[in-house]
């Protein structure tokens, strides 16, 4: 098989590594890929959002299967376009990708089908949104841009003034372009967060091992929100009991709801959950694998990834085993100094080979330049270690990450801390 992966981050490197284990894979192309995928795949110089460019490439290069891993091409309808020319894909259609691409769509779906989530209102004009915030009578209050906003479209506001300025920047100043013209305003929920990625063919849903992201830039969950600074799997807060409730109250009803709305979801549906006093609730859906969740989930997967992916496309997931090892994994992100705001690129990276002796190094913002690996983005590398225990995985991941260096590199020092604390309490 000739496979194309669309995207260029650590998630795509992790997917490519796992796909490469399948003997029927003749060649993997990645658009655009990175310094890590360049080692065993062919990177092609086409942007992940270039629907026309990717479609032409597939037609001209006899691509058998396309894995669209990134949110924006999915929301732009890349799968629909590829299907039109007969290329099978892993990933949802444009209509199904609305579950991530429009928060209003997702919230209305949950309300209609009784799926637990935070209470909310939708607004498309600034005056009524501000009036609502003034009179809502509860704080903190959460303001969310309807559309995709590079993970920056959610603002947790401690005061009405703060909420009004968030609304102004989205709705009046159009900070996120058309993504912020409509907003969701919702109640603030508390509790530990869990990421559950799942495979689905639109009828059957099979969750992967749970994980925990660390979204803030600095230790102790301080600093700005980022794409994710590290992950652990499994997430100890996601007990058997919570998993059972999530399956009955959230996963199955969501898959059924999407079918009932005539947009069955196929591919990877990511459930961002919060475990509240009243049980698990949906914070967000993503229409794709998480990054850096994928970098801890796939190294624990025992089943063949490509076989499972194909079964989501062919509607045979019910007959396809999806198994994970009982071990743990930890991924520590090495980022460029100044991320997520502004940072320099082009610094040479040392120590990757040394780190790879004991861990997996997934590239994110790297590229090869004159045979050397240099930084080319905010999140540069994800260092993943696996072990029988979570303690072991965390220790191994940090020991390996310490071996890597580049100018102004930084990492959080407390990835896995909260998960380990749970173990102590238990
Ligand atoms: P998102 O960009 O949708 O992943 O949201 C970013 C983060 O905001 C989530 O991971 C949560 O930590 C937080 N968040 C979003 N909605 C709520 C809510 N209703 N209550 C509390 N925290 C929230
Ligand atoms: N790590 C969060 C996300 O992929 O959206």
Which of 75, 93, 111 is at the close of a domain?
93
Domain of residue 171, CATH code:
3.30.1490.20
**pLDDT higher than 80, residue 151:** no
Distance 294 CA to ligand 2 centre (A): 9
3-class secondary-structure state, position 301: strand
The DSSP symbol for 318 reads G
Helices (H) and strands (E) in the chain, counts: 15, 23
For 259-279, how does the pLDDT look when each residue is reduced to its tens digit (9 = 90+)?
999 999 999 999 999 999 999
Q: Are residues 176 and 199 in the same domain?
A: no
What pLDDT was estimated at residue 426? 53
Mean pLDDT of 306-311: 98
- CATH code for position 299: 3.30.470.20
Q: What is the pLDDT of residues 79-135, one digit of tens each?
A: 999 999 999 999 999 999 999 999 999 999 999 999 999 999 999 999 999 999 999
Q: What is the mean pLDDT of residues 1-17?
A: 98
Q: Mark whether 283 and 200 lie in a shared domain.
A: yes
Query: Is the same domain home to 170 and 198?
Result: no
Look-up: residue for tokens 């590398």? 381
In a domain, 9, yes or no: yes
Give the per-residue pLDDT at 138. 86
Q: Confidence class of residue 246 from pLDDT cuts 50, 70 and 90?
A: very high
Residue 158 and residue 236 in one domain: no
**Interval 369-384 mean pLDDT:** 96
For every residue of 77-145, DSSP letters joined together read: THHHHHHHTT-EEES--HHHHHHHH-HHHHHHHHHHHT--B--EEEESSHHHHHHHHHHH--SSEEEEE
Residue 272 maps to a domain? yes
Q: How many CB atoms lie within 10 A of CB 210?
A: 25
- Let me know whether 66 and 133 are in one domain: no
Identify the nearest ligand to the CA of 185 by its number: 1
Tell me, yes or no, whether 173 and 198 share the same domain: no
Q: Is the domain of 411 the same as that of 286? A: yes
Q: Which ligand is the nearest neighbour of the Cα of 213?
A: 2
Is the domain of 171 the same as that of 208? no
Q: Which of 181, 206, 228 is the last residue of a domain?
A: 181
Residue 19: CA count within 13 A, CB half-sphere: 29
Question: What is the per-residue pLDDT across 157-180, written as a single tens digit (0 to 9) for each?
Answer: 999 999 999 999 999 999 999 999
- Strands of 201-293, DSSP E: 205-207, 212-213, 216-218, 222-225, 230-233, 267-276, 279-286
Cβ atoms within 10 Å, residue 54: 26
Mutate to test the pocket of ligand 1, among 145, 191, 283 (most ligand atoms within 8 A of CB): 283
Task: Using the CB atoms, write b or e for 62-81: b if 16+ within 10 Å.
Answer: ebbbbbbbbbbbbbbbbbbb
Considering the domain boundaries, does residue 188 fall inside one? no
Candidates 222, 199, 180; CA nearest to 316 is 199
Closest Cα to atom 4 of ligand 2: 290
Q: Is the pLDDT of residue 372 over 70?
A: yes
CA dist 51 and 90 (Å) reads 15
Query: Residue 171, SS3?
Result: helix
Total domains, the chain: 3
* pLDDT band per the 50, 70, 90 thresholds, residue 424: low
User: Which ligand 1 atom lies nearest to the CA of residue 152?
Assistant: 2
Q: Which two tokens stand for residue 339?
A: 């991320």
* pLDDT on residue 137: 84
pLDDT at 300: 98
In a domain, 323, yes or no: yes
Domain that includes residue 176, residue range: 125-181
Asked whether the predicted pLDDT for residue 65 surpasses 70, the reply is yes
* Residues 216, 285 share a domain: yes
* Per-residue tokens: 191: 């509790």
Number of Cβ within a 10 Å radius of residue 375 = 28
- Output the average pLDDT for the chain: 96
| Closest by Cα among 140, 224, 231, 232 to 190 | 140
Question: pLDDT grade, residue 425 (50/70/90)?
Answer: low
Q: Does residue 213 fall inside a structural domain? A: yes
Task: Report which protein residue has its CA nearest ligand 1's atom 12.
Answer: 193
Q: Which of 15, 150, 151 to mutate to test the pocket of ligand 2 (most atoms within 8 A of CB)?
A: 151
Q: How far apart are CA 42 and CA 85, in angstroms?
A: 22
Residue 212 confidence class, pLDDT cut points 50, 70, 90 = very high
Looking at 93, 111, 145, the residue that finishes a domain is 93
CA 281, CA 254: separation in Å to the nearest integer? 12
List beta partners, residue 366.
375
Quick check: 11 pLDDT over 90?
Answer: yes
pLDDT band for position 423 (50/70/90)? low
* Residue with CA closest to ligand 1 atom 19: 188
Q: Are residues 214 and 166 in the same domain?
A: no
Calpha distance 300→327 (Å, rounded): 7
- The owner of tokens 């499994």 is 234
Whether residues 199 and 73 share a domain: the answer is no
67 with 161, same domain? no
């Amino acid at each position: 098989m000739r496979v194309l992966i669309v995207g260029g981050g650590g998630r795509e490197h992790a997917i490519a590594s796992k796909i490469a284990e399948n003997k029927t894979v003749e060649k993997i192309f990645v658009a655009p890929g990175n310094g890590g995928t360049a080692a065993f795949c062919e990177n092609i110089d086409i942007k992940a959002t270039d629907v026309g460019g990717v479609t032409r490439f597939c037609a001209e290069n006899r691509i058998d299967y396309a894995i669209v891993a990134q949110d924006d091409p999915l929301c732009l309808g890349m799968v629909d376009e590829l299907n039109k020319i007969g290329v099978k894909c892993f990933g949802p259609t444009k209509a199904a990708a609305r579950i991530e691409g429009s928060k209003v769509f997702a919230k209305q779906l949950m309300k209609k089908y009784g799926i637990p989530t935070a209470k909310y209102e939708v607004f498309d004009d600034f005056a009524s949104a501000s009036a609502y915030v003034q009179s809502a009578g509860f704080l903190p209050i959460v303001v969310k841009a309807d559309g995709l906003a590079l993970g920056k479209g959610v603002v947790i506001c401690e005061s009405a003034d703060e909420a009004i300025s968030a609304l102004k920047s989205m709705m009046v100043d159009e900070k996120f372009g058309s993504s912020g013209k409509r907003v969701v305003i919702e109640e603030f929920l508390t509790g530990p967060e869990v990421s559950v990625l799942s495979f689905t063919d639109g009828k059957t849903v099979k969750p992967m091992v749970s994980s925990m992201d660390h979204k803030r830039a600095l230790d102790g969950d301080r600093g700005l929100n980022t794409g994710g600074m590290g992950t652990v799997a499994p997430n100890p807060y996601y007990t058997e009991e919570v998993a059972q409730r999530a399956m009955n109250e959230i996963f199955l009803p969501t898959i059924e709801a999407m079918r009932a709305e005539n947009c069955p979801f196929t591919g990877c549906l990511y459930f961002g959950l919060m475990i509240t006093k009243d049980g698990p609730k949906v914070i967000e859906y993503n229409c794709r694998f998480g990054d850096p969740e994928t970098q801890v989930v796939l190294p624990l997967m025992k089943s063949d990834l490509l076989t499972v992916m194909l079964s989501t496309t062919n509607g045979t997931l019910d007959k396809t085993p999806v198994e994970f090892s009982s071990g743990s994994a930890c991924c520590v992100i090495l980022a460029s100094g100044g991320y997520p705001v502004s940072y320099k690129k082009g610094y040479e990276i040392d120590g990757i080979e040394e780190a790879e002796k004991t861990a997996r190094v997934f590239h994110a913002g790297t590229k090869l330049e004159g045979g050397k690996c240099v930084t080319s983005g905010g999140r540069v590398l994800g260092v993943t270690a696996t072990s029988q225990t979570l303690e072991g995985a965390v220790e191994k991941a940090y020991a390996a990450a310490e071996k890597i260096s580049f100018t102004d590199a930084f990492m959080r020092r407390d990835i896995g801390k909260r998960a380990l604390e749970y173990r102590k309490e238990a």
